[in-house]
Copies of this chain bind each other. A is one copy, B any other.
Amino acid sequence: MLYFEDIEVGEADAFGRYEVTREEVIEFARRYDPQPFHLSDEAAAQTHFGRIAASGWHSCSMTMAMIVARGKERPQAALGAAGIDELRWLKPVYPGDVLRVDTQVLDKRASVRRPGIGSLRTQVTTYNQKGEPVLRMIAATLIRCRPAADHTEGQ
């Protein structure tokens, strides 16, 4: 289990493979973002999307699925996210795309108000199969510090 003390600023990771299907794009959009350009190629053809494209929230959710799967391979004492800054949908995500993720830790800070907890700011970039960045964001997440009893195991 990786704790706050184990995370190094600048540390990068690359992972994930998410195949975007037309069925899933439409299912997500029907429920959460039923704008015409997420539901129909005809409607999307009249916009800059050109053809049916995933909801931006769906792209975030698929990115999260890859992040959580990575966390199971490389467990962290994660306590969830406080927020996101500078979320940008850089390119449309289309059915047939295969997504992957790069992360880099930008900074870390021990909580003054909450001893035993630290926060990380991590830049997350999602790419399609052509290597084009489709989504970028900075995630502020909380992570537990190493429990006192474990200090001797430390680095």
Contacts and interface: CB of A to CB of B under 8 A. Distances in A.
Nearest to A33: B64
Contacts of A64: 32-33, 55, 57
Given A32-B61, A33-B64, A68-B34, A88 B79 contact: no
A72 to B, nearest CB: 8
Contacts of A47: 79-80
Contacts of A84: 84, 87
Given A32-B65, A57-B64, A65-B33, A89 B82 contact: yes
A83 to B, nearest CB: 4
Contacts of A89: 80-83
